[in-house]
Structure 1
Amino acid sequence: MECRPGCGACCVAPSISSPIPGMPQGKLAGERCLHLSVHMLCDIFGRPDRPLVCSQFVADPEVCGGSSEEAIRILGWWEQATSVA
């Protein structure tokens, strides 16, 4: 599966614990990444300072569902299911 143009769910729903340029502590789940453009595209895509976890993410129907809204729900569920209380 190719990333859905203008989706951005993977840049909002999950937490990212590794440093992101301009976000040295990473980001919280549900927090919009500083580098998510108004067009819902990653402004640091392909750059060497992009977090490894972002670079390794692969779009998949099981994670991305059939729409951006569904992707937010699925990724949010995975975030809650895998977070340590």
Structure 2
Amino acid sequence: MNVAVQEMSCRAGCGACCIAPSISSTIPDMPDGKPEGVPCVQLDAQMRCKIFGEATRPAVCGSLRASAQMCGMNEDVVQTREFALHYLNELELLTK
């Protein structure tokens, strides 16, 4: 089954994908990766990745892209950052 995923731009001030998932790859200033539910140290005060586009950014971070399914946006409903956190927490639980 092939499910279409609608990519989109990140929601300003969200940062859910830098908080909810665990990351086993080395991250600058987090040599052992990041546990689930812990904000990445590379997340700035505006909830943006400080190493976006840099070679030091883990590949897994680059592969996790904003989508309507994950971020909770479609033509009819605009969800919140909390929706994205919940969605990503559920994925984390399902992939343990």
Q: TM-score, normalised by structure 2?
A: 0.83
| Larger gyration radius, structure 1 or structure 2 | 2
Structure 2: gaps (5+ residues): 1-7, 73-78
Root-mean-square deviation (CA), in Å?
A: 0.8
Do structure 1's residue 62 and structure 2's residue 69 form an aligned pair? yes
The CA distance in 1 between the partners of 2:71 and 2:32, in whole Å, is 26
| Larger helix percent | 1
Q: How does 1:39-50 map to 2 (within 5 A)?
A: 39-50=46-57
Corresponding pairs, count:
83
* TM-aligned CA deviation for residue 73 of structure 1: 0.4
Q: TM-score, normalised by structure 1?
A: 0.93
> Structure 1 segments of 4 or more deviating over 3 A?
none
Structure 1: gaps (5+ residues): none
